[in-house]
Amino acid sequence: MTSSSAVAELDAVSWTREPAQEPLEENDAALKAVRDLIKAGERNQLVELLKRWDPVDVMQLLTRLRLKHARKLFQWLPANPSIKVVAELRPEFRSILMEESTLEQFHDILDGLDPEDAVEILNEFPDDVADELIARLKDIDEIGTRGGYADDTAGRVMARKFVALPEHCTTGEAVAQMRAEADRIRKIFTVYVTDDEGKLTGTVEVGRLLLAPADTPLRDIVNRDVLTVSADTDQEEVLRLARKRDMRTVPVVSSEGHLIGRVTPKQLTRIASDEANEDMLLMSGVSGESRADDTVLRIVRRRLPWLLAGLVGASVAATVVGSYEDQLAEAAILAAFIPVTMSMAGNAGLQASAVAVQGIATGALWTGDIFFRLMKELAAALFNGAIAGTILGSLVLIASFVVPLEAPERLALATSLSLLCVTTLAAMVGATVPIILDKIGIDPAMAIGVFITSSNDVLGVLIFFLMATTFYLG
């Protein structure tokens, strides 16, 4: 692509913003052009092209390229555009692209920045990458303080840029201060108000600030009903509080009440995404730290414990079945209903636990509402179990006209009652365990994985054989 016509063709290459997870065919030509430039080693031409693109579009391009091409392109990008692109990439993609040479590049960039700006950029990186960069910048105290906060806390994700003014300041002075800080902070939704000692006393929304007369003291329009969190507050709790109070930003204060940062709307969105991804992995019986680019050893280390836990549960269920060997020998037909019972127990438990985890995560499950919720789960489980049991019992009776069954009425009764009891008990276990785990400080999403499935399998098999022994073989 060295001719004038080729250059003109390259200038015409553009990218159409793609909806989430929906690649557009019209971008295929741009993908091909970029791939050709990468293969040909035409770095300068490609960089000139991408400088005209929005960072979000460059991010989408990177995720559509093959990994080796994406890495090369990322290394080619100049420092400033590459940082903007990193800010738009999801953590799993960013961790793939980060290599030693790239970390050194960002180290050089951060080393020359104002500490506040460096901290803001570090907040855009995945925690592991940010920690690595902080270790290389440990001579800068203000940046190093970020590493002093535990993972997944407000201190780790908070922005340290904000507008804080004393109560005696007028709205006119506040607006002037906002204009002066606009380039540094970029998006200002709230002005924080402090007392003479610098402690946070309230907030003023920008809209109200602009509508008030210019000589109005902030103390006259301040909202003193302000929710704050400490730097060591878990980020999931910060998100829960923000949703409950419908807050766009959450102020972070020190133990003395001084404002030290704020959790921005962008960080709240990222926390929601991170927590949802972690819960999804835990619910699937996978470590919350698992990533698509994990090595084989990491995959084994993060999945094997869950598989072994499932193996223990399955072994216990098998032991229960083995203990009823005589009953199975006496009535082999019982073996046909074991998978049905285990499946119903697992499904009922997963449904109830999923709803409980969702209620805990969104804050919809209040402490005073727990008993009422559990009673509703019990009533619904009884109805579901009765209906499922009635259907299964009816199928057994219908099958007895085609296949010879011994005492079909008693078999129908035993299977019906077992489904009723199994569904009810599994639903109650599924609804209760996440609440208990949350109360003792364990992520309730862990309950939906191996624990609920294994425990309900064991309970399901045990209840089935108890019912079969009592009502069919007794």
List, for residues 183-197, the tens digit of each pLDDT value.
666 677 788 898 888
With respect to residue 157, please indicate whether it lies within any of the assigned structural domains: no
**∠ CA(29), CA(33), CA(36), 5° rounding?**
140
**What would the DSSP string read from start to end of 306-344?**
HHHHHHHHHHHHHHHHHHTHHHHHH-GGGGGGHHHHHHH
In CATH, what number is assigned to the domain containing residue 46? 1.25.60
With respect to residue 85, please indicate whether it lies within any of the assigned structural domains: yes
Residue 3 banded pLDDT, cuts 50, 70, 90: very low
Does one domain contain both 30 and 138? yes
Does one domain contain both 47 and 114? yes
pLDDT attached to residue 327: 76
- Strand, helix or coil for residue 195: coil
With respect to residue 282, please indicate whether it lies within any of the assigned structural domains: no
Does one domain contain both 347 and 451? yes
In CATH, what number is assigned to the domain containing residue 328? 1.10.357.20
Measure Cα distances from 431 to 265, 356, 423, 464 in Å: 32, 6, 12, 21
- Check whether 446 has a pLDDT greater than 90: no
Does one domain contain both 11 and 110? yes
Which of 91, 117, 152 finishes a domain? 152
User: Which domain covers residue 192, as residue numbers?
Assistant: 164-266
Does one domain contain both 194 and 258? yes
Answer positive or negative: Cα dihedral of 389, 391, 396, 400.
positive
Does one domain contain both 335 and 441? yes
Q: How far apart are CA 293 and CA 155, in angstroms?
A: 28
With respect to residue 339, please indicate whether it lies within any of the assigned structural domains: yes
* 52-61, 196-205, 401-410: segment of lowest average pLDDT: 52-61
Across the chain, mean pLDDT equals: 77
- Strand, helix or coil for residue 200: strand
With respect to residue 109, please indicate whether it lies within any of the assigned structural domains: yes
Does one domain contain both 144 and 172? no
Q: How far apart are CA 138 and CA 104, in angstroms?
A: 14
Looking at the DSSP bridge assignments, the partners of residue 262 are 159, 251
How many other CB atoms sit within 10 Å of the CB of residue 311? Answer: 13
In CATH, what number is assigned to the domain containing residue 198? 3.10.580.10
Does one domain contain both 173 and 139? no
Give the HSE-up count for residue 307: Cα atoms under 13 Å, Cβ half-sphere.
6
Does one domain contain both 176 and 117? no
With respect to residue 158, please indicate whether it lies within any of the assigned structural domains: no
Tens of pLDDT, residue by residue over 112-157, are: 565 655 666 666 566 666 667 766 665 555 555 555 677 778 887 7
pLDDT attached to residue 330: 73
What is the mean pLDDT of the segment spanning 58-75? 76
Whether 219 contacts 234, CB under 8 Å: no
Answer positive or negative: Cα dihedral of 205, 241, 266, 19.
negative
With respect to residue 277, please indicate whether it lies within any of the assigned structural domains: no
Number of domains in the chain: 3
Which of 103, 122, 152 finishes a domain? 152
Which of 120, 152, 184 finishes a domain? 152
Report strand pairing: 190-194 vs 200-205: antiparallel
Tens of pLDDT, residue by residue over 234-250, are: 888 888 888 888 888 88
Does one domain contain both 244 and 341? no
Does one domain contain both 26 and 126? yes
With respect to residue 278, please indicate whether it lies within any of the assigned structural domains: no
- Check whether 215 has a pLDDT greater than 70: yes
Does one domain contain both 383 and 444? yes
Q: How far apart are CA 64 and CA 15, in angstroms?
A: 12
